[in-house]
A = this chain, B = another copy of it.
């Protein structure tokens, strides 16, 4: 397939780099700085070297990427709240051209899911977004196989940064500020970590899951969200005395979406450590399924994007 990749962060760059191995051609790559388009396939290595040098992928306007010849648009620009732009506009442009869309960007399917679905209903293009929920973990494809109506609840650890902080606090007896600084040094937490530690990122993933399970209607405003900032190290020590620990757990069940710190058994399934994510599905006939793996990372998330691309039917 011909791919237009929107966004040249870790995920967009990895999709562009790996596309050839999966038998695809990248005909356009764009980020906020500019775009490069070549109907025969751009020279990905050269373009990414240019970005490392000058900071821009190319001189063309971003809009030229949207007009490029492609079968599927890969939306990997940064997640934004409310209007979910510029991602939503990219999704709209592709669907109006009867092209497929594969999202790693959570914004459009968390904040404007019903609009995305309405656009898809009027398009010959399809919309897939496995990479938007827990990176490499095959969450949405598993729910699709089971049938969303047979999934009673989904819960899990859906943010690697928050999990790194909590598992280090518990393992080393350190407090939040100390571990956060360490995580920032390691590149696990961003300079402004609020999106991760306040639970917003995990909540967006849960909102997407709720939209899939309950046939739309959810945005971030429907989620009850509490972060990990105010957890004292002493709370983790107390939990440990009782064989338990604390994890930032997102949960979608009975029509509601909740994210917050929860006590879980110290060596239990949900107590993954470091940046690992886990998704736990309670199903109607198949019992409980647990899937853990990399919830973020360039190649890992790109792997989910390219799996989605592989599921798309040919464009007429």
Contacts and interface: CB of A to CB of B under 8 A. Distances in A.
Given A22-B147, A310-B145, A293 B287 contact: yes
A306 to B, nearest CB: 8
A142 B292 CA distance: 13
A297 B302 contact: no
Interface stretch (A70-78, A133-141, A215-223): A133-141
Contacts of A289: 136-138, 291-293
Nearest to A266: B267
Contact of A286 (B142, B267, B292, B299): B299
A146 B303 contact: yes
A302 B290 contact: no
B291 A290 contact: yes
A31 to B, nearest CB: 21
Contact of A138 (B22, B142, B310): B142
Interface in A269-316: 269, 283, 285-294, 297, 299-300, 302-304, 307, 310-311
A267 B269 contact: no
A18 interface: yes
For chain A, which range describes its interface: under 10, 10 to 19, 20 to 34, or 35 or more residues?
Answer: 20 to 34
A18 B283 CA distance: 14
Contacts of A299: 285-286
A269 B292 contact: yes
Nearest to A290: B292
A141 B145 contact: yes
Contacts of A294: 286-288
Nearest to A283: B303
A131 to B, nearest CB: 11
Contacts of A269: 292
Contacts of A310: 145, 147
Contact of A300 (B137, B286, B303): B286
25 contacts: A14-B285, A22-B147, A136-B283, A136-B286, A138-B145, A141-B142, A141-B145, A145-B311, A146-B303, A146-B307, A150-B303, A269-B292, A283-B303, A285-B302, A286-B293, A286-B294, A286-B303, A286-B304, A287-B297, A289-B292, A289-B293, A290-B290, A290-B291, A290-B292, A291-B291
The 8 closest A-B pairs by CB, nearest first: A136-B286, A286-B303, A267-B267, A145-B307, A289-B293, A287-B294, A285-B299, A285-B303
